Structure 1
Amino acid sequence: MFDLVRFELKKLFVRRASLIACAGILVMLCGIMTLNIVQTKTASDTGEVLNGTAAIAYQKEKAASHEGVLSVERVQDEVAAYKELAFSKVDPADVSGLSGEAAYALMKQAYDEDEFRAIYDTYYAYLFSPWKAGALEPYQVAAQLDDGAADGFYGAIADKLQRTLDDGMGGTWAYSDAERAYWTEKQAAVGEPLAYGYAGGWGDVLACLGFFAFAMVAVCVALTPVFAGEYQDRTDAVLLAARYGRSKLVAAKIVAAFVFATVYFALAALIIMGAALAFFGAEGGDLPVQVLSLGIPYDLTMAEATWIAVGIAYLITLGFAALTLLLSSKLRSQLAIFVTCAALIFLTGMVPSGGNAVLLHALYLFPLNALNDQVLFNSLVSYQAGPFAVDLVGLLVGVYALALIVCVPLAARAFRGHQVV
């Protein structure tokens, strides 16, 4: 059996077209991750635009200046200090009723460059986000807060979740009672107090999850000829007539296919995760995932959230590998197999939803939409399952595990039962 698996693996690795496509995609991923690092930009305290590693170093420095546990006492002090700075030259009433543009112009005119940059520090947009409604600037949110509002910082986070559920994805989705209870319980399980700090490397991996779609396409390209190639080369008659042609050989082909998919995915993950963690830094993995957004209702660290997301990408890759094997066992045209898989991977990410949340919930089950950190952890995507609710993470695991369970036996059965012409 081992020799058969090794032989089938060799066949996968030596096919010229597959080898070129797979190697080309790995090279492309290297280029994409290089650009991801080089094109990182930020503005320093002096107004200088920093690029690449200099920008990353500055982002680390800025986050480090605010790192620590977000205790209620700390939030109280920071809110008070911010209000003292932001309203030292402007009355709160003057900005609370203005549009964002008008308030920006007023603050820009009233404060010097150093004061204005301190007021616009992105950390304060993060800190005030639980009380934010609409597109208000941090100082507009601060202007509306009572002196004791900071005491209820964690209550404000919980209240914002309820407002988000009430909003129902912009009025396009009505959360059921089961879904509301699910998200409420999930948010209540998040540990307090939270901590803030730098976790840029882990955050960058999550932001780059969509690039795993290219690895999925490469796997589909390589696995397309596993069975269909035998039909086209007319070797199916010989193989199926052999002693183990309908048993061990079929199993060897399937095992080899999944070994190849696993190895290739691991190489893609090494490129994506390796580049992000090497240049953006691996620190902050133990910080809560809420460093990305206080509204995330998952009790996970940044490292845990990242590995879960990468694990889901791997499971989706295996699901598409299984689908490719099934199509390969049924169809002779390798082009038709590849086009079908590529369309499911890429075109489903381009379908306009038009504000239709039902359609959007269906599209979230495909790679380009699912592998988005804002969708996966931050968008409260859930589905009703009888009296229960399941989130997108759970449904993705279920759907692609089912794809594996269903497609693999069907592929084996189809090839074994193939009638040689």
Structure 2
Amino acid sequence: MIRFEIKKVFSRTRSKTAALLLVIVLLAVSMLTISRVEYVDESGNHRTGMGAAGKLREEKNVWAGYLTGDVFRSVYQENSRINGEYSSGSAEGSTEAENRMFQEKQGISSIADVINLANSPWREYDYYAIDNITEDEAAKVYEKRISGLEEWFASGEEDFPEAQQAFLLDQYKSLDTPFYYEYFDGWGALLKNISTFMMILALFIGFFVSGIFSDEFQLRADAVFLSAKLGRSRAVLAKIAAGLLMATALFAAFIFAYTFIVLFVLGAGGAGSPIQLELWRDFYNATFLETYLLIVLGGYVGTMFAVSAAMLVSAITRSTVIAIMAPFVVLCVLPFLSRIITLPAICSFFPDRLMDIYNAVQDFSLLEIGGKVVGLPPVLILVYAIAVFALQPVIYGVCRRVEVR
């Protein structure tokens, strides 16, 4: 029965059209993500693609290893050498000189970014920070990360309860250092766009399941369906299971395809490097791979919640059009409302936050429960996972009690 329900969904013209559009979106987002990684050749040309990523990876991996104070000093010295080479002579300030300087700095750019972040004002990024500090200051990256947070708390720019301040400082101090570094640009580009792709994917999946109940009424097949011996029991369960399985399969297939395309072209190196190389303020002691899995898990739970809402609306309203709107309301309208209503505590629990864990892990999204401070993303995932399970009996109950009109 489950297989039959899935075949019914994909036999419809609208589903086939949606599937084609989703493939187009996948390719478009993949190309957009791949174009984030650029390599500047000796002629000053900006190149993208597998060859460019390979060249960039080769230059950056010259510095692969643990980022100790000595490594930061070496990067500082290399940066100063390049600056000195291109800041003298008649070519100073020319576009050609700037391109050549950028081209030579590509190998150290990611490590220089870490030095810049450590020596920039909190929540800001000064690209030229490394040019305006001493070598000793450049070597104290890990100390500056902690002192920067302490100074930001002391400034009073944002009001954090003492318990949350203590939690964040403890997280910062317990972070494993020195960082292990290797080329990670493929993962960095992947994480930047994956939230957007998951949001689009969730809306498409909601479209696929939106008619799983309502179509029976619109096709006038409800009388036969509901009067059959197992119409209000096993048949309903088969529809629910088909919706959930279809959503899971689509989510897994397209997330895998997106991840594979991006990492195949840009390279999968750096999966075990700390996420702080990309998200400097992130307080989780996690790698790129672990952060990716957390983001995807959040997106999956958010998608399943939106799908469950669409199936429930489909069963209650008997309207596919209204059911299609359910995921849009859950994932797009609520974020808009969060900009209007001034209740950040409530807004932080809106389901759209599951689709944007990339930003949540670096924006200090915290929750205090019984005097204990925890990160908000894992709590959101748990809460909405429970909600998804809780909605299934509700959907089943609505369908069992529905009347034939």
Q: Report the TM-score, using the length of structure 1 for normalisation.
A: 0.81
Alignment of 1:17-96 (within 5 A): 17-37=14-34, 40-79=37-76, 82=79
318-327 vs 338-347, which moves further: 338-347
Counterpart of 1:404 in structure 2 is 388
Inter-partner Cα distance in structure 1 for 2:58 and 2:349: 36
Conserved 8 A contact 1:197-1:291: no
Inter-partner Cα distance in structure 2 for 1:240 and 1:136: 62
Closer/same/farther in 2, CA of residues 153 and 126 from structure 1, 3 Å limit: closer
Which sections of structure 2, spanning at least 5 residues, go unmatched? none
- What is the deviation of 1:116? 7.2
- For residues 157-183 of structure 1, give each alpha carbon's deviation from its aligned partner in whole angstroms, at most 9, with x where no partner exists: 122233455577xx4x52223322332
Alignment of 1:133-282 (within 5 A): 133=121, 137-140=126-129, 142-145=131-134, 148-150=136-138, 152-165=140-153, 171=157, 174-209=159-194, 210-282=196-268
- What is the deviation of 1:137? 4.1
- For residues 258-287 of structure 1, give each alpha carbon's deviation from its aligned partner in whole angstroms, at most 9, with x where no partner exists: 110111112211221111111011122122
- What is the deviation of 1:292? 1.0
Considering only aligned residues, what root-mean-square deviation do their CA atoms show, in Å? 3.3
Inter-partner Cα distance in structure 1 for 2:79 and 2:240: 61
Aligned residue type for 2:281:
G
Inter-partner Cα distance in structure 1 for 2:368 and 2:141: 31
- What is the deviation of 1:52? 3.0
371-380 vs 34-43, which moves further: 34-43
Alignment of 1:7-26 (within 5 A): 7-26=4-23
Inter-partner Cα distance in structure 1 for 2:358 and 2:235: 43
Inter-partner Cα distance in structure 2 for 1:299 and 1:46: 40
Secondary structure of residue in 2 paired with 1:266: helix
- What is the deviation of 1:5? 1.6
Inter-partner Cα distance in structure 2 for 1:58 and 1:306: 25
Inter-partner Cα distance in structure 2 for 1:76 and 1:265: 45
Aligned residue type for 1:157:
R
Secondary structure of residue in 2 paired with 1:299: coil
Inter-partner Cα distance in structure 2 for 1:151 and 1:34: 37
- What is the deviation of 1:244? 2.0
Aligned residue type for 1:31:
A
Does 1:316 find its partner at 2:302?
Answer: yes
Conserved 8 A contact 1:326-1:411: yes
Closer/same/farther in 2, CA of residues 82 and 7 from structure 1, 3 Å limit: closer
Secondary structure of residue in 2 paired with 1:284: coil
- What is the deviation of 1:83? 5.4
Inter-partner Cα distance in structure 1 for 2:151 and 2:258: 36
- What is the deviation of 1:57? 2.9
Conserved 8 A contact 1:206-1:373: no
Conserved 8 A contact 2:49-2:265: no
| Residue of 104, 109, 114 corresponding to 1:126 | 114
Closer/same/farther in 2, CA of residues 290 and 337 from structure 1, 3 Å limit: same
Closer/same/farther in 2, CA of residues 418 and 373 from structure 1, 3 Å limit: closer
Counterpart of 2:287 in structure 1 is 301
Q: Report the TM-score, using the length of structure 2 for normalisation.
A: 0.84
- What is the deviation of 1:15? 2.2
Conserved 8 A contact 1:381-1:391: yes
- For residues 130-154 of structure 1, give each alpha carbon's deviation from its aligned partner in whole angstroms, at most 9, with x where no partner exists: 1212667455455344x64356432
266-275 vs 233-242, which moves further: 233-242
- What is the deviation of 1:238? 2.7
Inter-partner Cα distance in structure 1 for 2:317 and 2:167: 43
Inter-partner Cα distance in structure 1 for 2:268 and 2:137: 35
Inter-partner Cα distance in structure 1 for 2:182 and 2:392: 45
Conserved 8 A contact 2:298-2:357: no
Conserved 8 A contact 2:76-2:130: no
Closer/same/farther in 2, CA of residues 62 and 162 from structure 1, 3 Å limit: farther
- For residues 112-145 of structure 1, give each alpha carbon's deviation from its aligned partner in whole angstroms, at most 9, with x where no partner exists: 6556765796332322321212667455455344
Conserved 8 A contact 2:168-2:283: yes
Inter-partner Cα distance in structure 1 for 2:371 and 2:233: 43
Q: How many residues align?
A: 396
